[in-house]
Structure 1
Amino acid sequence: MPLSILAEQLVRAWNWRQLLYPLRPAGRFDLFGTIMAGYLLAERGKPR
């Protein structure tokens, strides 16, 4: 997996953390893991 994709998803997790923190504190790496799992599942479902 390219480093640029990992960096983009880490920034995305940080952004989600900023939005969700007032409602429910969540760790950045917890959100990163969730985003990456969704990304990998979406990639797996693409036709080749």
Structure 2
Amino acid sequence: MNKISVVGAGVSGLSMANYLEKHKIDYHIYERRKKEDLAGHGFLIPKKE
């Protein structure tokens, strides 16, 4: 099987990598920013009441 290329280590790219990992599919993440340049990001999904 061919290796999947995931372009970008943002929310979508990491979500895709997580899916591929869970299904034991070989992949590689390509990110143009260097590790030292990455700043922490996060978000919350409000709970529906």
Same fold (TM over 0.5): no
Q: Give the TM-score range, shorter chain.
A: 0.3 to 0.5
Structure (1 or 2) with the larger CA radius of gyration: 2
Task: Between the two structures, name the one with larger relative contact order (CA 8 Å, sep ≥ 6).
Answer: 2
TM-score, scaled relative to structure 1? 0.33
Q: Which has the higher strand share?
A: 2
TM-score, scaled relative to structure 2? 0.32
